[in-house]
Amino acid sequence: MTALIIHGHFYQPPRENPWTGRIEREAGAAPFHDWNERIHAECYAPNAVAKIVAEDGRITGVTNNYEHISFNFGPTLLSWLETHHPDTYRRVLTADATSIPQRSGHGNAIAQAYGHAILPLCNDHDLLTQVAWGLADFRHRFKRDPESLWLPETACNDRTLSVLIEQGLRYVILAPNQALVVRQIGTEQWTEVNEETLDTSQPYVYEHMDGSGRSIVIFFYNASASKAVAFEKALTSSQRLAEHFKRSVGDHAMLSIATDGETYGHHFKFGELCLAHLLTTEAASFGFELTNYGEYLDNHPPRLSVKIQHGISGEGSSWSCVHGLGRWSRDCGCHTGGDEGWNQQWREPLRRALEFLRDAAAEEFSAAGSEVFRNPWEARNAYIQVVLDEDSRFEFLRIQARPNLSQTEERQALRLMEMQRYSLLMFTSCGWFFSELSGIETLQVLKYAGRVLELLTELGLRSPRDEFLRLLSRARSNIEENGTGADIFRKLIESAPRVLA
């Protein structure tokens, strides 16, 4: 039997208004209230109760697809599901628990970096917090330690992988174009590889860049089979999908597929039905045995080492930008949607403005936080417990705060942490992914920036608003009447109502 691992990356950006905590109506998601609701109805819920349909159209059974595939759910999406669709949320958690005994003690779920920031573009403090919060969120929900963490957009470089190694993670999933050279363990000769020549049926050892010998395993997904699922309408027939998988794997022992989880039902209507039939019927009949990465690694320890692509100036690489990480930092040519003649020259000044605000807020946080916390940066990494359970704030303060704070100082301490939480969310990757500066995803990260500025003022700290707007004015919308990023910020962020009508 050939091992088959299908990984689904299920994720939506946080959409809540930072002043109200609620999601506003999103017209593009009609007839649903917002995109979370629409994609839940088309993907997340159907995959939890996927129908198995016979050739004559009869429903012969129902399965929870999450029980059979490797998957990650974004922490902010799980938080939304827990509140708005607890039954789907429960089925996701139950699927992982059910998979553990079926997969030799390895659950199907893996963690994800918390706010879906592009980790190689983060500074050191934010990189660590994004990882630490993602791992803590996973432990809180799935009641076990994760073996892996999904890197948003599979964006990574040596610094990012080193942090994962230091956090004790066992493996990570990357795109085949991210491999640079490989060699047999115990030998000295490195061989250059690319997407076509890399053997994706093998796990690879990646060693920490400090030379300590510490390591993590990298699985590279099969590009041909994954692209067929994601972009080439392979989900129109479970039999044809299985045939494609059989051709892709050849005589290798394992086939690994990775796509956005939304592929199954949202991007392709009824994709969850095709997946369900493949998992319960076609896979076995075509000689595939379903497994996950943890179980496979137990039985197939790596025989090869790998080094990864460095990208431009060492920034790293990803699965959705052929220019490394350009999609989230400059007008590289990658985009989704938009009219003819549009450009994404707004990306770089947007990032520069938000990085300036992040650094200015961090300087104020470090100084003011040192007055109320034993170590403000360690406290920030621990603050995820309050994000997950507001009632834990007293325990958080008992451990992290300096002794004998007044109630006013305690409130100030928690507001400092909220300022940093919104600072982290400013870098949600979707803010740069699409075509236009005034799109809903970019407006969302600007809302977080507005909340950071507001909290600085409320805390009596220095606000860098004027310089932030000056930098933001260098970003220009493709829609002439929108003007610059500064114009958009003044009109749509600062002037927006703070409570729902």
pLDDT-flagged residues of the chain (< 50): 501
Output the pLDDT for position 55. Answer: 79
* Strand residue runs (E) in 64-211: 70-73, 111-112, 149-150, 171-174, 179-184, 191-192, 203-207
DSSP characters over 382-394? HTHHHHH-GGGHH
Tokens coding 134: 């993602």
Cβ–Cβ contacts within 10 Å for residue 212, how many?
11
Residues 6 or more apart from 100 whose CB is under 8 A from it? Answer: 106, 107, 144
Instruction: Please name the amino acid found at residue 295.
Output: E
Output the pLDDT for position 500. Answer: 52
CA distance 178 to 344: 24
Architecture of the 2-308 domain:
Alpha-Beta Barrel (3.20)
Secondary structure element (H or E) that encloses residue 305, with its range = strand 304-308
Output the pLDDT for position 501. Answer: 41
Measuring CA to CA, how many Å separate 186 from each of 147, 175, 204, 303? 25, 25, 13, 9
CB 442 within 8 A of CB 434: yes
Alpha helix (H) residue ranges in 305-375: 347-372
CA distance 445 to 480: 21
Output the pLDDT for position 57. Answer: 80
DSSP characters over 26-94? -GGGTTSSSHHHHHIIIIIHHHHTEEEE-TTS-EEEEE-GGGTSEEEE-HHHHHHHHHH-HHHHHHHHH
Residues of the chain with CATH 3.20.110.20: 2-308
Tokens coding 248: 């892709």
Instruction: Return the closest-CA partner of residue 258 out of 323, 172, 145.
Output: 172
Output the pLDDT for position 59. Answer: 87
